[in-house]
Amino acid sequence: MAWEQIEWVKAASGLGAGLSVGFAAIGAAIGEGYAAGKANQTLSYRPGVSGEILKTMLVGQAVAETAGIFGLVIAMLMLFSPAAGKPVLTGWAYLGAGLSMGLSAIGCGIGAGLPAGSACTGIGRQPRASGQLTTLMLIGAGVAQSTAIYGFLIALLLLFKSLPEAMNWVAACTLLGAGFAMGFGGIGPGIGEGIAAQNAVTSIARNPENTGLMTRTMLVGQAVAESTGIYSLVIALLLVLST
């Protein structure tokens, strides 16, 4: 029985690691590709500002990559955690952690790439406003990453939680439920906040003198979009703490 228990924990750690980094890579790659596509479109008619556009593209891609890095960190923690002596429920916690991190990173990776693409387009339209565009891009993309941070937090709590020795299906489903709650709950806010940032950056390229107004409006809109991610975080925390 002890051997089967170790095998299950090892199997779950492998599956959880795959879920974490596999799903997380989807959003980051789409966001980075979107930024690169917009940069290339802009360079086709604005090659004279190629240095500024390339710099903005790479910075935006680095922010979008953050969600994928979070997924990689959680995957590595699972893969290199010893299985011996761990209760059966640890395997379920690993699966929940992989779902929490991987799914929540999808929306955040995409959301962070949207303002990066708009910033590249905006610099082609208004090269003199490149500083304003880059600053707003970083603010908007940073906020769009927040639910991936929530997913990372829930994943860490699941990975390092002390669990009872006895197998309990209620506890197992609760651990999985925490991962689903935060994982799925992080997709929408990440994309929604990215859309708000994308359009704010586009608007500044058209009307740079209203940067303050557009920044405030973007942040208010992102705060409202963030609310459902916070609901998911609260439920995930309650599920983790109740096990």
Contact 75, 69 (CB under 8 A): no
For residue 133, the one-letter residue type is L
pLDDT, position 91: 94
Q: All domains of the chain, ordered by start, with CATH?
A: 2-242 (1.20.120.610)
Local structure of residue 166 (DSSP, 8 states):
S
Question: Given a cut of 80, is residue 1 above it in pLDDT?
Answer: no
Cα angle, residue 62 at apex, residues 120 and 192 outer, rounded to 5°: 70
Contact 218, 197 (CB under 8 A): yes
pLDDT, position 5: 82
Tens digit of each residue's pLDDT (9 = 90 or more) over 211-238: 999 999 999 999 999 999 999 999 999 9
pLDDT band at 29 (very low <50, low <70, confident <90, very high): very high
Q: Which residues contact 6 (CB under 8 A, 6 or more apart)?
A: 83, 84, 86
Tens digit of each residue's pLDDT (9 = 90 or more) over 153-186: 999 999 999 998 888 999 999 999 999 999 999 9
pLDDT, position 243: 82
